[in-house]
Structure 1
Amino acid sequence: MINNKVLAIILGGGQGSRLHPLTEERSKPAVPIAGKYRLVDIPISNCINADIKRMFVLTQFNSASLNRHIKDTYHFSFFSSAFVDVLAAEQTPGNKGWFQGTADAVRQSMHHFLRHEFDYVLILSGDQLYQMDYELMIKAHKKSNAKISIATIPVNAKDATGFGILKADEDSIIKSFVEKPDASLLPDWTSEVSDEMKAEGRNYLASMGIYIFNRDLLIDLMADDSTIDFGKEIIPQNIEKHKTLSYQYEGYWTDIGTIDSFFEANLRLTKDIPDFDLYDKSKRIYTRARMLPTTKVSGTTLNKTVVSEGCIISASKIENSVIGIRSRIGDESNLINTYMMGSDYYQSLEDVDNPNINTLGIGSRCFIKNAILDKNCSIGNDVRINGGKHLEDVETDTYAVRDGIVVIKKEAVIPNGFVL
């Protein structure tokens, strides 16, 4: 099988400053998503579904929780060559620095990759939400005899100015590239797309940051240590030198780069037919198996809400929200447009009844709107958090506001009667 000749490399990204404070104590791939998963579960699951089972995850910031999640989650047979390994930036005699960019991260880790047999390297991002069949992309790469393949997604003129745009011929071979083009240049950058995409005005091919390289070419390219980034240097410098295929993807895809995009991606899961389909058996998303009890709901009106396992909910109403594992929500509370990540553990009944110990979850008679509640928060009684564009960006010890979205920090304690 061709997939046995593929090695997958998942790039964990940098410090994740645009996702701060969610990345204050964890790397970007370890950020919880959809109530029970981590961002890194998305590319790993896509690989497993495509029968690609040799994966490296490259990271350098706050990698402890990511290491723990992968160690506890991805177990393969002793008689299999499958693995998911985390490689953090490491000092060696030949290099004493951090990863300087995506290509530099791969270059610094090449000695680990070369211990394995492979013909193709699949390079993925650890902070995107999508369900792609990589096997189809690999087959297209091999069939075209390309040296490089780039996954592309058709976008409209408004979005095109924020992406690297590629121009492909009628055989889907990329001929040129421009980074975030000015709107005045766009008429010269249309490519051949499907009739459905044309009808939506999506005539421009944006790079998704997903690449396939032939082994020998990647080794040659990594020998030049003057290039540190795939999207800004490696790809633009090599599409005219080496046959490069555009593999068009027309499904749902979003880059989880900011608090706003992260928030929107989670809340879109509450749609009747979500763009990102967690219920498709052929595109299953894997994560850590937890032996949690069923969720218990008492007297709560739920509307367009996703509720994970092990929750105890007595709220009045929850609307357009995602409720994470082990969440506790008290009487007469109302949640609207909220992503509550839940808790890592349950408190004992003695702790819950102890007035000197903060109770995890949300207390009674609270109103919370347009907010993200990180793991293990303690929200007191009668708390009112009303996020929206009327709030200015700010950061305190317990919360931050980003583009009108209130982010309650991990393990924060919000006192009774707090109003924002």
Structure 2
Amino acid sequence: MQVDTSAMPEAPVAVLLAGGRGSRLHELTEDLAKPAVAFGPRHRIVDFTLENLRRSGLGQVLVATQYCAGPLEDYLNRCWRPVFGTGLRLRRAAGRGMVGRSYEGTADAVWKNAAEIDALSPREVVVLSADHVYAMDYGPMIAAHRASGAAVTIAADVVPLAEARAFGCVEATAAGRILAFAEKPRTPPAMAGDPGRTLVSMGIYVFDWAWLRERLRRDAADRTSAHDFGHDILPGAVAQGEAQVFRSEGPGGRPFYWRDVGTLDAFRETWLAFEAGPPCPVPESAGLGLRARGVTDPRVAAALRQADAALDDEGSVVPLAGRRAERAELVASVVMPGARLAEGCRLRRVILAPGVRLTEGMVIGHDPQEDARWFRVTPGGTTLVTPQMLARRAMMMPGQLPLAPRPPMAQEPATC
């Protein structure tokens, strides 16, 4: 079922920024763009934003891709093309060797697609990051933007002051007019009356297209600019009094749930939060590329159920979850789709990447110094284990070979 845009009069065009690597996820994004990384047994990170667009009735979506774009684009075509149809436009930067065609920043990614946006004649453009985990109806934000008369509206949430340096920090009046904006400041400002927290940008913007287009034109001609929304476009709008803030609310009056899963610690903690009971609705539309329910042979269907797998459009078996032995001990650990661990394994605060095979009795996460010899250990105490790390460990420690790891392409997610 495709997006129904009837509930959104004069629906804006959405631009989904999906070209980043997500370097703070380290080896998880070595061969895969961050939005394409698996999240939970049946989703990828990008699914959350695309589901929000579907729920909001925004059917014209331009996706700007760049880093390791192939797997992400294949996934979007297979699993989200049935939802958005021709409204889903994938626009990859030309990349190396094509001077002037690679995306040089978030603002530049929109500017290089300005002609196509013009052709759709939108009143507004909604600019979104493709790598955050949250559920949101963009309709109220768009309505608030239109009512405010501002040139740009920024969605914001609150985070602890100690974490705010990783975000764009916002200071605003009680009426929502933004007084100051600083991208990843060394000393974040505390909220008035709440010294332990800071108001931060969620990377969700509603722009008047005519206003934004002119600012992007000027920015493109500025050789000193980083061509970035946070560093270049938004501060100018704030200085001119043109920026408004929007605070979203969670369902039923509950706190709004939004997480940037840009670090290994945040990725692991957010994954575990969803395992314990989803703190916000999970995407429903992803998965149209699977044919598990269409299997007519009862023996094949039974085998798929036993393996916790499905078939994709090409008839390939796709694992729906990581496999763990019954007598394995997992504490605050994540087993990504396609990873397996044998009997007697003991893990604490570990991420097992797709393709990992742990042999019987392996212990990880209990001795940080030993783990750091072979795996990636973060300052926050998360240990990432990949097939390549295990292969290196096996070469250096004869007699402790893991089961044959799957090739690097094991980053293939659980399902659509």
TM-score (norm 2): 0.75
C-alpha separation in 2, matches of 1:389 and 1:285: 38
Q: How many residues align?
A: 357
Query: Are the equivalent residues in 2 in contact too, given 1:382–1:417 (CA < 8 A)?
Result: no
Written as runs of structure 1 = structure 2, the 5 A alignment for 1:251-290 is 251-271=256-276, 273-278=277-282, 284-289=283-288, 290=290
Helix, strand or coil: the match of 2:68? coil
Query: Are the equivalent residues in 1 in contact too, given 2:177–2:241 (CA < 8 A)?
Result: no
Written as runs of structure 1 = structure 2, the 5 A alignment for 1:33-44 is 33-44=39-50
Query: Are the equivalent residues in 1 in contact too, given 2:12–2:123 (CA < 8 A)?
Result: yes
Which letter maps to 1:288?
G
Which letter maps to 1:405?
T
Helix, strand or coil: the match of 1:136? helix
Q: 2:336 aligns with which of 341, 358, 366?
A: 341
Which letter maps to 1:409?
T
Which letter maps to 2:270?
A
1:121/1:202 CA distance change after superposition, 3 Å: farther
The higher relative CO (CA closer than 8 Å, separation ≥ 6) is in 2
1:95/1:181 CA distance change after superposition, 3 Å: closer
CA positional deviation for 1:336? 2.5
Structure 2 residue 18 is the aligned partner of structure 1 residue 12: yes
Structure 2 residue 344 is the aligned partner of structure 1 residue 365: yes
Give the structure 2 partner of residue 114 of structure 1. Answer: 118
Written as runs of structure 1 = structure 2, the 5 A alignment for 1:161-172 is 161-172=165-176
Q: 1:400 aligns with which of 357, 370, 376?
A: 376
Give the structure 2 partner of residue 229 of structure 1. Answer: 228
Query: Are the equivalent residues in 2 in contact too, given 1:378–1:411 (CA < 8 A)?
Result: no
Bigger shift: residues 369-378 or 142-151:
369-378
Structure 2 residue 33 is the aligned partner of structure 1 residue 27: yes
Query: Are the equivalent residues in 2 in contact too, given 1:16–1:28 (CA < 8 A)?
Result: yes
C-alpha separation in 1, matches of 2:347 and 2:49: 32
Unaligned runs of 5+ in 1: 192-197, 279-283, 294-308, 314-323, 344-359
Which letter maps to 2:328?
S
CA deviations 1:281-333 (Å, max 9, x no partner) are xxx4432243448xxxxxxxxxxxxxxx95659xxxxxxxxxx7153334533
1:3/1:27 CA distance change after superposition, 3 Å: farther
1:412/1:379 CA distance change after superposition, 3 Å: farther
Structure 2 residue 243 is the aligned partner of structure 1 residue 244: yes
Query: Are the equivalent residues in 1 in contact too, given 2:11–2:122 (CA < 8 A)?
Result: yes
CA positional deviation for 1:391? 5.5
Give the structure 2 partner of residue 325 of structure 1. Answer: 320
Give the structure 1 partner of residue 358 of structure 2. Answer: 379
TM-score (norm 1): 0.75
Query: Are the equivalent residues in 2 in contact too, given 1:10–1:56 (CA < 8 A)?
Result: yes
Helix, strand or coil: the match of 2:88? strand
Give the structure 1 partner of residue 386 of structure 2. Answer: 409
Percent of aligned positions that are identical: 25
CA positional deviation for 1:73? 0.6
Give the structure 2 partner of residue 210 of structure 1. Answer: 204
Give the structure 1 partner of residue 89 of structure 2. Answer: 85
CA positional deviation for 1:246? 0.6
CA positional deviation for 1:4? 4.3
1:388/1:123 CA distance change after superposition, 3 Å: farther
C-alpha separation in 2, matches of 1:292 and 1:76: 17
Helix, strand or coil: the match of 1:205? strand
Give the structure 1 partner of residue 68 of structure 2. Answer: 62
Q: 1:131 aligns with which of 129, 135, 142?
A: 135
Superposed CA RMSD in Å reads 3.2
More helix by share: 2
Query: Are the equivalent residues in 1 in contact too, given 2:151–2:237 (CA < 8 A)?
Result: no
Query: Are the equivalent residues in 2 in contact too, given 1:11–1:59 (CA < 8 A)?
Result: yes
Which letter maps to 2:177?
I
Unaligned runs of 5+ in 2: 1-6, 250-255, 294-303, 309-318, 403-416
Query: Are the equivalent residues in 2 in contact too, given 1:312–1:327 (CA < 8 A)?
Result: no
Structure 2 residue 68 is the aligned partner of structure 1 residue 73: no
C-alpha separation in 2, matches of 1:92 and 1:220: 28
1:150/1:202 CA distance change after superposition, 3 Å: farther
C-alpha separation in 2, matches of 1:203 and 1:260: 20
Query: Are the equivalent residues in 2 in contact too, given 1:73–1:288 (CA < 8 A)?
Result: yes
CA positional deviation for 1:159? 3.8
Structure 2 residue 157 is the aligned partner of structure 1 residue 178: no
CA deviations 1:50-70 (Å, max 9, x no partner) are 111211221211111111111
